[in-house]
Amino acid sequence: MSVSPPPAPLQSRAAASSVVACHAHKFGGSSLATAERFRHVAALLRAPGASRVVVVSAMHGVTDALTALADAALGKQPWEDDFRSLRARHLDTARDLDDDGRQGLHAWLEAEFAALHAQLSAPSRKPEWHATVQGLGEVWSTRLLHAALGEAAPAWAVLDAREVLQVHAGELGVGVDWAGSRTRLAAWRSAHAQANAIVTGFIARASDGAATTLGRNGSDYSAAIFAVLFDAGELTIWTDVDGVLSADPRLVPDAVCLESMSYAEACELAYFGAKVLHPQTMAPAMQAGLPIRIRNTLDPDAPGTLITAQSAPAASPVKGLSLVSDMAMLELTGAGLIGVPGTAERMFAALHTACVSVTMISQGSSEHSICCVLRADQAERGRMAVQAAFRDAIADGQVEGVRITPGVSVLAAVGDGMVGTPGVSARLFNGLAQARVNIRAIAQGASERNISVAIAAEDATRGLRAAHSAFWLSPQTLSVGIIGPGNVGRALLAQLAQAASRYGGIGTTLAVAGGGLDLRLRAIANSRSMHLAPRKLDPAEAVEALELGQPLDYARFAAHVRAEHLPHAMIVDCSGSNDVAEHYADWLAAGIHVVTPNKQAGAGPLARYRAIRAATRHGGHFRYEATVGAGLPVIQTLRNQLDTGDELTEVEGVFSGTLAWLFNRFDGSVPFSQLVNEAREAGYTEPDPRDDLGGVDVARKLVILAREAGRELSLADVEIESLVPPALREVTREEFLSRLHELDAPLQARLDAARAQGRALRYLARLDRDGRASVGLVSPAPDHASLHGRLTDNLIQFRTRRYASNPLVVQGPGAGPEVTAAGVFGDILAIAQALGARP
């Protein structure tokens, strides 16, 4: 058997400010799951240094197994097979740790299991019998760890906690008889000269001497108790994670390990479901001022999380988030509750009598209703109890009744930095709103360290991730689907891949300290097929993934992108498809953000355009800057003027980079058809040049700008001059390309006529003061700005009330997949920033 080299000594890595006389440690079941894990723990403990008291749990899963055996024996159900499996597991571990038999471990365990068999064969319903069986796992673990210490074992004593720890049942849980326990410990220590001790966790004795336990997860509580009894200077709890994390890593992969926490923060997180630490552990530590460190047995070099009276300041006011699932909301409503003293007392007294635990309470100042969140399995019992308590008021109509809402989770944000910090609630609520998570109820205590919200269970994971991102504890995550891997789509994928390599992130992550963006490409589609990635797609491999794709289904595509476990979703439509644009309104209404250079939505039917704009009220962002001017800020510039109170009067300019290139080059030295072929080879035209030469694309851009300014213009309202002769408009693309020379003579004649007046040709779009819209070939005056543009430049002139005599001009390259993709990428980042990302 291979044995991993022993880790560095505990003392050398302890981050306490000074060396302590006694150091307490606790090892949980996951740290003691196998013989190899026992050896690893023993290696951690062999180092010289301060005396140590080590509290151990049962091997992983053993307490559950013992509880099941006891229940089966009491219920007269078969238990022999499970007993044999448990016995074999421990004997195999003993054989591995004490292979030469020097420790006598195998024989000792044989006797222990023989005694257990006798107990199970004659079960008793006395609590002491059940507690004795449940606590055997810790007894066995202490002896297994002692054996694993090998030659160092004589320096260690084994302490059965029942010899020392005396407890009593209290209303708030198990209480410790500190004076009696200290007396017993002093007697035990006088009889054991060893400086170090291995102690059973979880088990104790009641005041009447009967065996008892500290409850599930009681080993942490035992550790804190014995750390105080032994006057330890620090308690280290060893587990299978690096420390206390900002959220459950199974739900939030970007959860970070917290460097430090206060007792108050730890209590809040522990109560609201953080599994690393049990809430009861805090009480003895807080009273004694005992520092607690959470560390990873499997990575002892990790510094872990230090918990003390005050934690170090953090960049975010929220230290961590926790989620409690399987809850329900109970609501008592009625006008008769308003101003009536004792209503809450009656309600909670009824719940107390019914043994129903309340996790969260909320009541508005109107006092019309009071609600609380409780465990789902107690909801019906709670409803019946409250209904009985208010039976008369319900019968009189003063109270409407008691309502239960199932399927609720509680999300809690915790942090000392929240105290006195304005805007924390706003950040939380805004993050949830952006992720389309509805809040059912809110509660915040006067300490301000905790804000709890009740949300629907189906929104829980998405809400947790959104809240985590809202406080910059992790990057904002956007689930992205791309439709249309044509020229622009491929250029966008290349830019995403370049961003990923430049920033070295997860998926495509643009991240900096204190906030970032995780663009997680999860789906890609063309007009026929789609590929849906379970986790993420490498942008550089996305097009190839389509070869293994499945038939395109827009509903399935959108549902996959709108993953419930990711806070935000976006579909980027790089196609020119009218069919795809038909889905925008539905996607936006579902909270899926849409980014597109596709002009079909902005210039399509007015009814659809209105539906798309209305759908954005549901929280989805719609960005389409690249529909006009590719990467130029055309729409943004117009929008800025309108939003600040200006009024658009006229628009004119070169709206097509392809046509700009053609007419900047067309001087009669070469035929127009030759220029078109050159533009095709350079990638400036659409696959069918008629899509550019027909003028419809330019007209669509003009419609988009007109609608942006509030004009209800449709494509049919635009006068369009097509450069394609009627005889070539309906033929195949191949025939059109073969007959392209038929354009030469008419256009040469137009050029000659313009030159005769000392002018040139430009293809311009215009919306005048009267609302007349036209696109076509004109001969502008010699001082017109369009005559001085560069090759593929778009040039858009806005005349407004403010810019009446001297128009506002936006000019720059407006053709080519690279600049269009850059415009799309810019829209993606604009939405991300609106969601709170800081790329």
Is the pLDDT at 124 greater than 90? The verdict is yes
What's the CA gap between 287 and 280, in Å, rounded? 12
What's the CA gap between 225 and 179, in Å, rounded? 12
Q: Are 349 and 391 in contact (CB under 8 A)?
A: no
- The pTM assigned to this predicted structure is 0.68
- pLDDT mean over 637-643: 93
pLDDT value at position 366? Answer: 61
Per-residue pLDDT of 158-186, as tens digits, reads: 999 999 999 998 776 789 999 999 999 99
Q: Are 830 and 594 in contact (CB under 8 A)?
A: no
Place of tokens 């939505």: 601
Residue type, 657: G
Cβ contacts of 635 within 8 Å, gap of 6 or more: 624, 625, 627, 628, 629, 704, 705, 708
- pLDDT mean over 776-780: 94
Structure-block tokens of residue 122: 């004659």
Confidence of residue 501 (pLDDT cuts 50, 70, 90): low
- pLDDT mean over 25-53: 91
Percent of the chain predicted with pLDDT > 70: 93
pLDDT value at position 251? Answer: 85
pLDDT value at position 663? Answer: 94
Per-residue pLDDT of 263-289, as tens digits, reads: 888 888 876 655 667 777 888 999 999
Place of tokens 């074992």: 153
Is the pLDDT at 2 greater than 60? The verdict is no
Structure-block tokens of residue 206: 């009641």
| DSSP structural state of residue 360 | E
Is the pLDDT at 640 greater than 90? The verdict is yes
- pLDDT mean over 524-528: 94
- Could you tell me which of 797, 772, 753, 768 has the C-alpha nearest to residue 654? 797
- pLDDT mean over 466-482: 83
* Backbone φ and ψ of 366, nearest 5°: -70, -20
- pLDDT mean over 533-537: 88
Alpha helices in 164-259 (DSSP H): 178-191, 218-229
Compute, in degrees rounded to 10, the torsion defined by CA atoms 299, 300, 305, 307.
Answer: 150
pLDDT value at position 475? Answer: 74
Confidence of residue 7 (pLDDT cuts 50, 70, 90): very low
pLDDT value at position 6? Answer: 34
- pLDDT mean over 585-589: 95
Point out the residues that are catalytic: 701
Confidence of residue 69 (pLDDT cuts 50, 70, 90): very high
Tell me the CB-side half-sphere exposure of residue 654, using CA atoms within 13 A: 31
DSSP, collapsed to helix, strand or coil, labels residue 623 as strand
Per-residue pLDDT of 351-404, as tens digits, reads: 999 999 998 998 876 667 889 999 999 999 999 999 999 998 888 888 888 999
What's the CA gap between 300 and 667, in Å, rounded? 76
422 versus 572: which is more confidently predicted? Answer: 572
Q: Are 226 and 55 in contact (CB under 8 A)?
A: yes
Q: Are 570 and 595 in contact (CB under 8 A)?
A: yes
Residue type, 85: S
318 versus 89: which is more confidently predicted? Answer: 89
- pLDDT mean over 136-155: 95
Q: Are 657 and 630 in contact (CB under 8 A)?
A: yes
pLDDT value at position 245? Answer: 86
Is the pLDDT at 62 greater than 90? The verdict is yes
List domains and CATH numbers for the chain.
22-59+135-239 (3.40.1160.10), 320-472 (3.30.2130.10), 477-621 (3.40.50.720), 634-815 (3.30.360.10)
Q: Tell me the pLDDT of the chain averaged across its residues.
A: 89
Helices (H) and strands (E) in the chain, counts: 31, 32
Is the pLDDT at 5 greater than 70? The verdict is no
